Structure 1
Amino acid sequence: MPRPYVLLGCAMSVDGYIDDTTPERLLLSNAADFDRVDEVRANTDAILIGATTMRRDNPRLLVNSEERRAQRVARGLPAYPLKVTITASGDLSRDLKFWHHGGEKVVYCPDTVTTKVRETLNGLADVVSTGPTVDHGAMLDDLGGRGIRHLMVEGGGTIHTQFLTQGLADEIHLAIAPIFVGDSAAPRFVNAGQFPGGSAHRMKVAEVRSIGDIVLIRYLPKETSGDSTS
């Protein structure tokens, strides 16, 4: 079965941060951009966040629009996309909102923590081993076998870095907020890593548009812009 098309979605500050270090989540998007994200979610088959983001932000990760959920059902789809997470440590609390809202859930993890995760969640999600390590390719193969054709990845930075350094992302949506965070301890869109092509690879820009005070940029990381300077 073909692997799903992978879209990375992220809101960040002008200086590349996706949050600050305060206990409250930093809301980078405006109302119109949150609605755009809801529309993207409604048109995808599955949504993925990393376990660290789950623990830090405790999101429900839903399609919030009742109309969009109804449109999904009218198309013969579940009201909510499949919710996906991946964990190396297996440290997942069953009290997180992720498990108790929306539709079906699946967790991908290494062999070493599969039993631990199954015992913790006790039926709240399907738990799938990816082998001796966290294997994103094995995860995408399994999702493809489940009929998932479009996967939206909402982070955080470690997950984004893993998908990008392994060449697994087909598209990136960057919503840039007109603020600076300026705190080196805050999480960033991506971490240090060896990205395909390195600094010589210039990604193709598919779209640039403003959404109120947000600038949305769509990149196609597997394609090249062809632009260069001498």
Structure 2
Amino acid sequence: MKPFVFVNVAASVDGKISNERRVQLRISSKEDMERVDKLRAESDAIMVGIGTVLADNPKLTVKSDELRKKRVLEGKPENPLRVVVDSKARIPEDALILNDEAETLLAVSKKADLEKLKKLQEKAMIFVAGEERVDLSELMEFLYHIGVRKLMVEGGGELIASLFREGLVDEIYVYYGNVIIAGKNSPTIADGKSLDEPAELELLEFKKLGGGILTRWRVKRKRFN
């Protein structure tokens, strides 16, 4: 068993999620940022890869006071569980995602440094799965076991590609901002090693939002490794 997994990403018209320096860029409109906050509030957990943490240092919390209060009234914590996929435990000990505003689960492989994990377990739950890299299927089973039914994935590109490769993505939202970033080495929506065959999608939603375009796609069930 696994949660319902959906990816949410903002990209330039040419499909880039950052530039070659991999710095955080403003791609989303105000309207899209409000939509993303609502999606976070409706999720049980939010997942990112270590690359996103190192590049952006996000909190991954719900920004709206009203949405946080609504979660509490529903018997939920103010913020969803935060999940970091970090095979070698490279996360800095002072990363914002390890603050006490929400619980954090750090998913690592057996290659992670044990001494660092001892320090990190004071700030996060630790889940070990996989030899060299985190076993994403095993992680999904664990998340379902602890009550996660709706998982939001916010990047980065390599994690998104890996999830597609394992057949773990159910839907993907792509917000195309009204910008061009360019750069052959700029990270893309699904980065890293390419799929052996394209993942086939079905368009569910298409609309103008702010200065850009929001699309939502259903992934047709299939593995792509």
TM-score range, shorter chain: over 0.9
Match for residue 218 of structure 1 among 200, 216, 224? 216
Q: Is the 8 A contact 1:3 1:144 kept in 2?
A: yes
Q: Normalising by structure 1, what TM-score? A: 0.90
Deviation string for 1:128-167 (max 9, x for gaps)? 1113241000000000010000000000001010011111
Q: Hey, what does 1:154 align to over in structure 2?
A: 154
Shift in Å, 1:178: 1.6
Flag the 1:212–1:158 CA change in 2: closer, same or farther, 3 A: same
Matched, 1:108 2:80: no
For 1:101 and 1:31, how far apart are their aligned partners in 2?
27
Q: Normalising by structure 2, what TM-score? A: 0.92
Letter in 2 for 1:184: K
Q: Runs of 5+ in structure 2 lacking a partner?
A: none
Q: Hey, what does 1:20 align to over in structure 2?
A: 19
Q: Size of the alignment, in residue pairs? A: 220
Letter in 2 for 1:208: F
Aligned-residue identity in percent:
29
Flag the 1:23–1:186 CA change in 2: closer, same or farther, 3 A: closer
Q: Is the 8 A contact 2:89 2:117 kept in 1?
A: no
Q: Which runs of 4+ in 1 moved over 6 A?
A: none
> Where does 1:1-230 land on structure 2 (aligned, <5 Å)?
2-22=1-21, 24-113=23-112, 115-132=114-131, 133-191=133-191, 192-194=193-195, 198-199=197-198, 202-222=200-220
- What is the RMSD computed on CA atoms of the aligned residues? 1.7
Q: Is the 8 A contact 1:92 1:120 kept in 2?
A: no
For 1:23 and 1:222, how far apart are their aligned partners in 2?
31
For 1:33 and 1:80, how far apart are their aligned partners in 2?
19
Shift in Å, 1:101: 4.7
Q: Is the 8 A contact 2:14 2:182 kept in 1?
A: yes
SS at match of 2:68: helix
Q: Runs of 5+ in structure 1 lacking a partner?
A: 225-230
Letter in 2 for 1:216: L
For 2:121 and 2:90, how far apart are their aligned partners in 1?
14
Q: Is the 8 A contact 2:200 2:220 kept in 1?
A: no
For 1:213 and 1:16, how far apart are their aligned partners in 2?
16
Q: Is the 8 A contact 2:167 2:221 kept in 1?
A: no
